[in-house]
Amino acid sequence: MIRFVARRLVGMAAVLFAVSVIVFVVFMVLPKQNPAQSLAGKNATPLLVKNIEEEWGFDESLPKQYLTMMEKVFTGELIQYEPRLPVSDRIVEGIPATFSLTIGAAAIWLFFGLLLGYLSAIRAGGWLDRILTGVSIAGISVPVFLLAPVLIYVFANKLEILPNGQYVPFSEDPAEWLKHLVLPWVTLAVLSIGFYSRVLRSNMLDVMNEDYVRTARAKGLSERQVMTRHVLRNSLIPVITLFGLDFGATIAGTAIITEAIFDIDGVGNYAAEAVAKFELPPIMGVALYGAFFVVLMNTIVDIVYAYLDPRVRLGETASG
């Protein structure tokens, strides 16, 4: 198992290296425009462009340029030029808000997705299953940019029980933190609740036909034991994979729309701003930040998967 984890971590480092090279190539090498000009921004003075050219060493070889870029990324010297601020500072500032949003939403969607999926599966074909299927499909079908305004209209404008956006740090006021996040959480979670409940339901219906479920019944387990220990346990394995990937993707980007609608000052909002103003340094920084979390979650999924399904572990030791 230790060996398995070590291999996965090495793999993770390799993927991150590849991603950083791609970021370098896409932003620095491929565009026809002078990269210093792009970095400096639309309204930069010729002097600033000249300075950046020297600072980034754009007259050097490409590998040297790559190393310079990576050095800047790791030492926090990747800087946006109007206003002049280190990109890493802005990302670090945005992380509490983004993580509050994504982790909370993920907990909600995982809990309700699995609950609805489980109830649907054990009552497959019954009226409860039909209602839950309808609810799930509705959840999957509603786009975030429609759901969010409707929620804001109902709960913030009409009922006035929840604020319509913005972020209050947990350290300042936990109650306000919670109140401000409820609507964004729901907005971000609804689609996944529907999706996860459908996936779990269909996995469980497949697993129910497995021979080992019949064995579990034959040895005298109660229906609930059969369902939770055998059917649910085995059906969760693919769901966990999905969850890891989705969670990584949410941190890395899906949260952008929600952050923008609710005016939450997180990393997503920063990325949206940067794209709107076409500021290259923040775009590069956020791309690397996003890639890091996607790859990290992938690695965690692999490790958890091996823990949940012993056959994966065997495959690893046997082949290497």
Partner 1 sequence: MSEPLLSVQDLRVGFATEEGVVQAVDGVSFDLRPSEVVAIVGESGSGKSVTAQTIIGLTRANNARIEGSVKLGAVELTSADDAEMRKLRGERIAMVFQDPMTSFNPVYRLGDQIVEAIRAHRPDTSKRAGKERVVELFEAVGIPNAERRVDDYPHEFSGGMRQRAMIAMALAREPEVLIADEPTTALDVTIQAQILGLIEQLNRERNLATILITHDLGVVAEVADRVLVMYAGKVVEEGTLDEIFYDPQHPYTWGLLGSLTRLDRPRPHRLPQIAGSPPSLLELPEGCPFRPRCPHEFSKCTQYPGLEARLADSPAHRDRCWLTPEEKRGKRQVEGQIGLEAPR
CA–CA gap between residue 98 and residue 169 (Å, rounded): 11
Within a 13 Å sphere around the CA of 145, how many CA atoms are in the beta-carbon half?
A: 4
280-308 vs 233-249: helix crossing angle, rounded to 10: 170
CA–CA gap between residue 303 and residue 292 (Å, rounded): 17
Q: Where are the beta strands (DSSP E) in the chain?
A: 79-81, 84-86
Q: What are the two backbone dihedrals, phi and then psi, of residue 222, each rounded to the nearest 5 degrees?
A: -75, 160
* Minimum gap (Å) between residue 114 Cβ and partner 1: 17
Q: Which residues bind partner 1 (CB under 8 A)?
A: 210-212, 214-223, 225, 229-230, 233-234, 237, 308-311, 314
- Measured from the CB atom, the residue of 119 and 208 that comes closer to partner 1 is 208
- Measured from the CB atom, the residue of 174 and 315 that comes closer to partner 1 is 315
Phi-psi region at 41: left, alpha or beta (left = phi > 0; alpha = psi -120 to 50):
left
- Measured from the CB atom, the residue of 143 and 220 that comes closer to partner 1 is 220
* Minimum gap (Å) between residue 4 Cβ and partner 1: 15
Of 132, 105, 142, 141, nearest to 204 by C-alpha is 132
CA–CA gap between residue 120 and residue 113 (Å, rounded): 10
Amino acid at 6: A
* Minimum gap (Å) between residue 311 Cβ and partner 1: 5
* Minimum gap (Å) between residue 8 Cβ and partner 1: 20
- Measured from the CB atom, the residue of 234 and 254 that comes closer to partner 1 is 234
Of 162, 144, 142, nearest to 152 by C-alpha is 162
* Minimum gap (Å) between residue 82 Cβ and partner 1: 55
- Measured from the CB atom, the residue of 60 and 210 that comes closer to partner 1 is 210
- Measured from the CB atom, the residue of 178 and 304 that comes closer to partner 1 is 304
- Measured from the CB atom, the residue of 55 and 206 that comes closer to partner 1 is 206
* Minimum gap (Å) between residue 209 Cβ and partner 1: 11
* Minimum gap (Å) between residue 132 Cβ and partner 1: 19
| Sign of CA pseudo-dihedral 207, 203, 249, 165 | negative
Kindly give the pairing relationship between strand 79-81 and strand 84-86: antiparallel
Angle value at C-alpha 35, between 86 and 90, nearest 5 degrees: 15
Structure tokens at 23: 């970021």
User: 3-class SS at 210?
Assistant: coil
* Minimum gap (Å) between residue 120 Cβ and partner 1: 17
Q: Which residue has the tokens 């890639």?
A: 291
- Measured from the CB atom, the residue of 68 and 234 that comes closer to partner 1 is 234
- Measured from the CB atom, the residue of 3 and 229 that comes closer to partner 1 is 229
CA–CA gap between residue 260 and residue 35 (Å, rounded): 28
* Minimum gap (Å) between residue 112 Cβ and partner 1: 25
